[in-house]
Structure 1
Amino acid sequence: MRLRPANRAAFARARFVAGFLALPLLLYVVYVISPYVQAFSIALTDWRGVSANPRFVGLDNFRRLLGDGVFWTAVGHNGLLLVLLPVLTIVIALFFAFLLNAGGAKASGVPGSRFYRVVFFFPQVLAVAIVAVLFQQVFRPDAAGMLNAPLLALGLEPVGFLSDPGVAFWSILGVLVWQAVGFYTVLFSAGMASVPRELYEAARIDGAGPAPLFFRVTLPLLWDTVQVGWVYLGIAALDVFAVVWVMTAEHGGPDHSTTVMAAEIYRNAFQYFKFGYASAMGVVLFFFTVGFAALALRLSRRERVEF
């Protein structure tokens, strides 16, 4: 049976696309899907990382999680980051991006906006571990600390940014927001730059001030980009590890005041050698992440604005 010319062309295109996708899909299955499947299976055992035949324990690891106070403290910290990190980052980034793109008298942004974009983006150039080490020095409780030095010079008591259980978590949150704001400022700036200047000019002629200009023109046209940023920041809030592990005492201290799920997974796997138990935590984190992404996309869905 011979194919018609149109069918032959469609078959050739499909074969061409399949040939390009085969290798990336294979790598994705091997390095992404396969570890997830292995984690699900290991979570049902008491494997300690050395035995060839770990004992099957069923759902015992998950039952232990229900009574693990430290793990639920970590879940609470991730939940708080899940709310605060996207909100603070997006609000600040939108404010800066609006100033850079539409904040000028002629809707052309503030003077030097290109330079400011580079400055805002600079934290993204630094590795996360470098950012953590940098802020360890900023938060030092002695005269060498950037924030405590002025307090000591005034004769005031230094603030234990990383040693006070009531302050340490908020210090970590501040670092995470500082690191993320620059990237999303540039991302939102790119979205705002694609908005026709005529829309801003027309709104200004109609008497719109900065607030109506932002909420009635900029934000509706930028909503898809904000939605994507919200999902990425939420996933980042669930996967905080390097900053907590490098910056804090006891890798999540003091007194578990900054610990997160990823830190507890690492601790149980590579310090206590409870790979089965750590995998159960990883499964919980997996469902939290997928559930958040699905919920965020569902709740933020709205009619798309074309321009």
Structure 2
Amino acid sequence: MRRGKYPFIIGFLIVPVTLYVTYVVAPYIQAFQLAMTNWRGVSANAKFVGLENFERLLKDDTFWAAVRHHGIILLVMPLVTIIIALFFAFMLNVGGGSRGGELRGIWGSKFYRLVFFFPQLLAVVIVGVIFNRVYAPDDSGLLNGMLGSVGIDPVLFMADKNIALWAMIAVLVWQAIGFYVVLFSAGMASVPREIVEAAMIDGASRFSLFFRVTLPLLWDTLQVAWVYLGIAAFDAFAIVQVLSVDEGGPDNATTVLGMEIYKSAFREYQMGYASAMGVALFFLTLTFAALTLRVTRRETIEM
């Protein structure tokens, strides 16, 4: 049995590993190669230019604007999403208090789980179309219709460069919350009831119960959530593509690296320069994930 173990494992993995190397690893390697050329994507001719594309990046104001927007999204979106999702998950699991010696969620918690998760069922493009109507700059928009009913002039959510990025972040938070409510709910459900009930018998308030018992036991789940949300913050291309004015406008107020890569590659036919931006995005994402895992690392609490 042992003699046949390794051939079986190799035979089982050879197809998925080959597909992964072919369609994931190889394109990454090719992107590094193209970043060193001036290839335009319309012919086989590509001149090696070394680090010229990366030097150009350092002088590109639009590139730095996109990086700055990623930084703002990275600071705001994960934090707001996790705080709201933790609150809802806590309420859905133990918000109803203790009845019959058993902790329960608020009334209708199963229904609310479905409601919170619903945005995850929608394609990103559909989410963008929905919020195009929510943010419409006249009374036909949901938000401006509500503001108009109380005598407030319409707000140009996506046309005002001081507001547009924050409106985009609100959409990203709305879309993400449902998944993390379910994720945190699953984590809270795995916390031994005896620990929670013992804390309540000792007189712990819900505030203390959350911060002294539930949160420490959910730390590994929070760490994973923060990394996933950070990676999502470095994406955001689809929402910007569908929702923003003039693809990253107004005046590049909502542009992100994915959008600039798209425009450089498929509008300006500068595949080499787009690949250089892709490489920069790859290292930014990798650095964020590594730093987050390092900074948030702590000893696992045994239950």
CA distances 1:260-285 after superposition (whole Å, capped 9, x unpaired): 01100001000111000000000000
Cα deviation, residue 77, structure 1: 0.3
Tell me how many residue pairs correspond in the alignment. Answer: 299
Match status 1:290 vs 2:286: yes
Q: Give the aligned partner of residue 22 of structure 1.
A: 14
Query: For each residue in 1:215-241, what CA deviation from the matched residue of structure 2 results, as whole angstroms up to 9, or x when unmatched?
Result: 111111111111111111000100110
Deviates most, 148-157 or 175-184: 148-157
| Residue 226 of structure 1: aligned partner | 222
Deviation at 1:150, TM superposition (A): 2.2
Q: Distance in 1 between matches of 2:11 and 2:84?
A: 44
Is 1:112 matched with 2:108?
yes
| Aligned equivalent of 1:236, options 232, 238, 242 | 232
Partner of 1:10: 2
* TM-score where L is the length of structure 2: 0.97
Matches within 5 A, 1:222-301: 222-301=218-297
Number of the residue aligned with 1:3: none
Q: Distance in 2 between matches of 1:155 and 1:306?
A: 56
Which of the residues 194, 197, 200 maps onto 2:190?
A: 194
Q: Secondary structure at the match of 1:57?
A: coil
Instruction: Supply the AA of the counterpart residue of 1:22.
Output: I
In the other structure, the counterpart of 1:97 is 89
CA apart distance, 1:15: 1.8
SS in structure 2 of the partner of residue 71 of structure 1: helix
Identify the residue that residue 136 of structure 2 maps to in structure 1: 140
Matched, 1:40 2:32: yes
1-structure distance, mates of 2:285, 2:2: 38
Query: What is the Cα deviation at residue 126 of structure 1?
Result: 0.2
Q: Aligned-pair distance for 1:123?
A: 0.1
Distance 1:144 1:125 in 2: 25
Deviations 1:66-116 (A, max 9, x none): 110011000000011111111111111011001111222212111111111
**Structure 2 counterpart of 1:163:** 159
- Aligned: 1:57 with 2:49: yes
Tell me which residue corresponds to 1:88: 80
Which secondary structure state, in structure 1, belongs to the residue aligned with residue 106 of structure 2?
coil
Give, in angstroms, the shift of residue 141 of structure 1: 1.0
Which residue of 57, 62, 66 maps to 1:74?
A: 66
Give the deviation of 1:156 after TM superposition.
Answer: 2.1
1:135 alignment partner AA: F
Matched residues in 2 for 1:117 and 1:70: separation?
40
* Alignment counterpart, residue 210 of structure 2, candidates 211, 214, 217: 214
Q: CA deviation at 1:151?
A: 2.1
Shift in Å, 1:12: 1.7
Sequence identity percentage: 60
Cα deviations by residue, 1:140-181 (Å, 9 ceiling, x for unpaired): 011110000122233321111101000000000000000000
How far apart, in 1, do the equivalents of 2:256 and 2:112 lie? Answer: 33
Name the TM-score, length of structure 1 as normaliser: 0.96
- Structure 1 distance, partners of 2:5, 2:295, is 37
Aligned-residue RMSD, C-alpha: 0.9
What SS does structure 2 have at the residue aligned with 1:250? coil
**Structure 2 residue matching 1:249: 3-state secondary structure:** coil
What residue is the counterpart of 2:172 in the other structure? 176
**Deviates further, 143-152 or 281-290:** 143-152
**Matches of 2:94 and 2:106, distance apart in 1:** 8
1:152 counterpart (129, 136, 148) = 148
The alignment status of 1:131 with 2:139, answered yes or no, reads: no
Structure 1: runs of 5+ lacking an equivalent: 1-8
Where does residue 31 of structure 1 map in the other structure?
Answer: 23
